[in-house]
Structure 1
Amino acid sequence: IGSNLARLFRLNYKYVTLMIGCGAAGAIAGIFNAPIAGIVFTLEVLMLDLTMAFLIPLLISAVTAATLSWFFMGEDVLLHFSNVQPFSSNSIWFYILLGIFTGLLAIYFTRMTMFLEMKFKKIKFWGTRLLAGGLVMGVLVFLFPPLWGEGYREIALIFNDRGHELMNNSWFFQWRDNNYLILLFLAGILIFKVIAMVATTGSGGIGGIFAPTLFMGAMAGYFFSLLINSFGKIELPGDNFALAGMAGMMAAVMHAPLTAIFLTAEITRGYELIIPLIITSTVAYVTIMGFEPYSVYTKRLAQTGDLLTHHKDKTALRMMNVRNLIETDFEVLSPDARLRDLVKAISQSHRNLYPVVDAKGVLLGMVKLADVRTLIFERELYDKIKVKDLMYMPEYFISPDDIMETVVEKFETSGRYNLAVIDKGKYLGFISRAEAFSEYRKTVQDFSHD
Structure 2
Amino acid sequence: MLQRFHARRFGAFRLLFDFGRLRAALRRSELGLLFAGIAVGVSSGCAVTAMSLISQEMHSLIFGIDDADRLSSSNIENKLLLLGAPVAGGILLGLMMFILAKTRKKPMVDPIEANALHGGRMSLTDSILVAAQNLISNGFGASVGLEAGYTQIAAGIASKLGYKLQLRRSDLRTLVGCGAAGAIAAAFNAPLTGAFYAFELIIGTYTIVTLTPVVVSALVSTIVARLLASGNVMIDVGEFGSVVPADYIPALLLGALCAGLGILLMQGVSFVEELARKSAIALPFRPALGGIVVGLLAIVSPQVLSAGHGALHLNLARDLAIPALLGILLLKSLASAVSIGSGFRGGLFFASLFMGALIGKIFAYSAPYFDHATLTPVIYAVVGMSSLAVAVIGGPLTMTFLALEITGDFPITVLVLAAVITSSMVVRTTFGYSFATWRFHLRGESIRSAHDVGWIRNLTVNRMMRPDVRTANVNMTVGDFRHDFPIGSTQRVILLDDSEKYAGMVLVPDIYASPVEQDEESRSLGDFIRYKNDFLQPQMNAKQAAAIFDKTESEALAVVNNLIERKVVGQLSESYTLRRYSEELDRRRREVSGEI
Relative to the length of structure 2, the TM-score reads 0.64
Describe the superposition over 1:268-289 as per-residue Cα deviations: whole angstroms up to 9, x where unpaired: 4344511221122122122222
RMSD after superposition: 3.2
Distance 1:326 1:299, change over 3 A: farther
Aligned equivalents of 1:418 and 1:315: distance in 2? 25
Name which of structure 1's ranges 340-349 and 218-227 shifts more when overlaid on structure 2: 340-349
Matched ranges for 1:326-341 at <5 A = 326-339=465-478
> Which residue pairs with 1:57 in the alignment?
213
> Which residue pairs with 1:200 in the alignment?
339
- Partner residue of 1:184 out of 319, 323, 327: 323
> Which residue pairs with 1:86 in the alignment?
241
Letter in 1 for 2:412: L
1:357 and 2:357 matched = no
> Which residue pairs with 2:401 in the alignment?
262
Q: Is the 8 A contact 1:334 1:387 kept in 2?
A: no
1:418 and 2:556 matched = yes
Q: How far is 1:150 from its partner?
A: 0.8
> Which residue pairs with 1:142 in the alignment?
299
Distance 1:409 1:230, change over 3 A: same
Give the secondary structure class of the aligned counterpart of 1:45: helix
Q: How far is 1:429 from its partner?
A: 3.1
Name which of structure 1's ranges 365-374 and 419-428 shifts more when overlaid on structure 2: 419-428
Q: How far is 1:12 from its partner?
A: 3.7
Give the secondary structure class of the aligned counterpart of 2:202: coil
Give the secondary structure class of the aligned counterpart of 2:199: helix
Describe the superposition over 1:79-114 as per-residue Cα deviations: whole angstroms up to 9, x where unpaired: 432524234324332212211111111111222223
Q: How far is 1:253 from its partner?
A: 1.8
Q: How far is 1:188 from its partner?
A: 3.9
Q: How far is 1:61 from its partner?
A: 1.1
Q: Is the 8 A contact 1:37 1:263 kept in 2?
A: yes
Aligned equivalents of 2:450 and 2:343: distance in 1? 30
- Report how many aligned residue pairs link the two structures: 428
1:112 and 2:268 matched = yes
Describe the superposition over 1:403-430 as per-residue Cα deviations: whole angstroms up to 9, x where unpaired: 5433323323433221333431514433
1:443 and 2:584 matched = yes
Distance 1:439 1:393, change over 3 A: closer
Give ranges in structure 2 of 5+ residues lacking alignment: 1-155
Aligned equivalents of 1:344 and 1:199: distance in 2? 72
Q: Is the 8 A contact 1:158 1:239 kept in 2?
A: no
Aligned equivalents of 2:456 and 2:299: distance in 1? 50
Give ranges in structure 1 of 5+ residues lacking alignment: 165-178
Describe the superposition over 1:261-319 as per-residue Cα deviations: whole angstroms up to 9, x where unpaired: 00122134344511221122122122222211222222344552345665x8x776455
> Which residue pairs with 2:170 in the alignment?
14
Q: How far is 1:443 from its partner?
A: 1.9
Aligned equivalents of 2:535 and 2:457: distance in 1? 19
Give the secondary structure class of the aligned counterpart of 1:430: strand
Give the secondary structure class of the aligned counterpart of 1:215: helix
Give the secondary structure class of the aligned counterpart of 1:88: coil
Give the secondary structure class of the aligned counterpart of 1:328: coil
1:409 and 2:566 matched = no
Q: How far is 1:192 from its partner?
A: 4.4
Give the secondary structure class of the aligned counterpart of 2:423: helix
> Which residue pairs with 2:227 in the alignment?
71
Aligned equivalents of 1:268 and 1:328: distance in 2? 63
Distance 1:20 1:121, change over 3 A: farther
Aligned equivalents of 2:299 and 2:501: distance in 1? 62
Letter in 2 for 1:444: L
Q: Is the 8 A contact 1:120 1:202 kept in 2?
A: yes
Letter in 1 for 2:258: T
> Which residue pairs with 2:200 in the alignment?
44
> Which residue pairs with 1:172 in the alignment?
none
Q: How far is 1:347 from its partner?
A: 5.3
Distance 1:132 1:85, change over 3 A: same
Aligned equivalents of 2:472 and 2:397: distance in 1? 60
Relative to the length of structure 1, the TM-score reads 0.83
